[in-house]
């Protein structure tokens, strides 16, 4: 069966940028994120061996989420000045390497990745490369996660999600709604962390059932906190769920194919990536598969 690897573009660009602190082209331009991204993608492809591949990029914050919570992701710092110009370089690399990428104004990468993953799972196996915990809600027999924080390199399924969260994949959105998500500036129920949220869902099954049976919560303090935060929890559900967004099903555009070695050679030479350039070989030689 075909296998689609979907890469969370901005997440890996940031990861590469911070993993390699200083690297510049012969002209003095920063290239650390570009180089790190190329190497990370090479490693992912070797681990997953996809038949299809796409990198998704954020196109801005969701208007619906901002309407529900104006402070959504408001605490995030500006993109580092040395990273911003490298994003175009990464996109240029992807084009030369024959790898599909996607970005649309006002569409968060998470939502597009989720939509594409659900579509593709009707036909193929899907692996999402990201450390974002929101994606755990998508895990199924056909959708797995490649978490860069997991040094084992395992593709996460139900067992890993259960071990990480204490809940089933289909309960992850409710788990996040109860405890909140500091990364996205979503406040949860005061006093409710990962363990308490998991225990509540293990007992009641879902947020809706929990809120309908609050009298069964033994702790007076917790019961009151849940009652006071009921509206926020229901709002949080909508914030953390990954809704469908416009997404054309175009398998041929995502198929893994050989890159344009002449274009890659020009890029690598301009960036001063001598090792990657050497791996391409001389023009006319039998080319090694770099990525």
Delimit the domains of the chain by residue range: 3-161+243-280, 169-240
Mean pLDDT for the stretch of residues 166-177: 98
- Mean per-residue pLDDT of the chain: 94
The SS3 of residue 184 is helix
Q: What is the pLDDT of residue 248?
A: 86
Taking 70 as the threshold, does the pLDDT of residue 287 lie above it? no
Quickly count: other Cβ atoms within 10 Å of residue 209's Cβ: 14
| Eight-class DSSP state of 28 | S
d(CA 264, CA 290): 10
pTM equals 0.92
Mean pLDDT for the stretch of residues 243-254: 92
The SS3 of residue 53 is strand
Do residues 105 and 61 make contact, with C-beta atoms less than 8 angstroms apart?
no
- DSSP state letters, 187-233: E--TT--HHHHHHHHHHHSSHHHHHHTGGG---HHHHHHHHHTHHHH
Q: What is the pLDDT of residue 288?
A: 45
Do residues 153 and 189 make contact, with C-beta atoms less than 8 angstroms apart?
no
Mean pLDDT for the stretch of residues 212-238: 96
Q: Which residues pair with 125 in a beta bridge?
A: 3
List, for residues 264-275, the tens digit of each pLDDT value: 999 999 999 999
Kindly state which CATH superfamily the domain 169-240 is placed in.
5' to 3' exonuclease, C-terminal subdomain (1.10.150.20)
Tokens, residue 223 = 């019961």
Q: Containing H/E element for 207?
A: helix 207-212
Q: What is the pLDDT of residue 284?
A: 56
Helix locations, 4-153, DSSP H: 9-19, 32-48, 63-68, 84-97, 109-121
The SS3 of residue 290 is coil
Q: Which residues pair with 187 in a beta bridge?
A: 180
Instruction: Give the residue among 123, 122, 148 at the shortest CA–CA distance from 8.
Output: 148
List, for residues 98-128, the tens digit of each pLDDT value: 999 999 999 999 999 999 999 999 999 999 9
Question: For residue 281, what pLDDT band results from cuts at 50, 70 and 90?
Answer: confident
Domains 3-161+243-280 and 169-240 agree in fold: no
Instruction: Give the residue among 193, 164, 167, 171 at the shortest CA–CA distance from 180.
Output: 193
Strands (E), 169-259: 180-181, 186-187
Q: Which residues pair with 30 in a beta bridge?
A: 24
Cα distances (angstroms) measured from residue 17 to each of 33, 76, 142, 224: 4, 16, 31, 44
φ, ψ for residue 78, nearest 5 deg: -60, 150
Question: For residue 1, what pLDDT band results from cuts at 50, 70 and 90?
Answer: confident
Q: CATH topology for 3-161+243-280?
A: Rossmann fold (3.40.50)
Q: What is the pLDDT of residue 290?
A: 47
φ, ψ for residue 8, nearest 5 deg: -75, 95
| Eight-class DSSP state of 241 | S
């Amino acid at each position: 069966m075909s296998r689609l690897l979907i890469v969370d573009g901005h997440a890996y660009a940031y990861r590469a940028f911070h993993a390699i602190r200083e690297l510049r082209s012969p002209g003095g331009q920063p290239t650390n994120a570009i180089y790190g991204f190329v190497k990370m993608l090479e490693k992912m492809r070797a681990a997953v061996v996809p038949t299809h591949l796409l990198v998704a990029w954020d196109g801005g914050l969701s208007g619906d989420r901002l309407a529900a919570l104006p402070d959504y992701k408001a605490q995030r710092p500006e993109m580092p000045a040395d990273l911003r110009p490298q994003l175009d370089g990464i996109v240029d690399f992807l084009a030369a390497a024959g790898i599909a990428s996607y970005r649309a104004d006002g569409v968060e990468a998470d939502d597009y990745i989720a939509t594409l993953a659900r579509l593709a799972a009707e036909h193929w196996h899907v692996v999402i490369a990201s450390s974002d915990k929101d994606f755990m809600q998508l895990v199924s027999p056909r959708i797995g996660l490649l978490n860069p924080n997991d040094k084992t390199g395992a593709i996460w399924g139900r067992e890993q999600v259960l071990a990480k969260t204490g809940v089933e994949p289909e309960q992850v959105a409710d788990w996040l709604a109860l405890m909140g998500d500091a990364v996205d500036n979503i406040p949860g129920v005061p006093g409710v962390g990962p363990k308490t949220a998991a225990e509540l869902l293990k007992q009641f099954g879902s947020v809706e059932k929990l809120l309908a049976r609050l009298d069964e919560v033994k702790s007076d303090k917790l019961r009151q906190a849940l009652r006071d935060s009921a509206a926020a929890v229901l709002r949080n559900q909508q914030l953390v769920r990954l809704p469908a967004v416009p997404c054309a099903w175009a398998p041929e555009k995502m198929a893994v194919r050989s890159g344009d070695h002449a274009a890659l050679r020009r890029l690598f030479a301009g960036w001063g990536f001598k090792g990657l350039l050497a791996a391409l070989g001389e023009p006319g030689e039998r080319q090694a598969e770099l990525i």
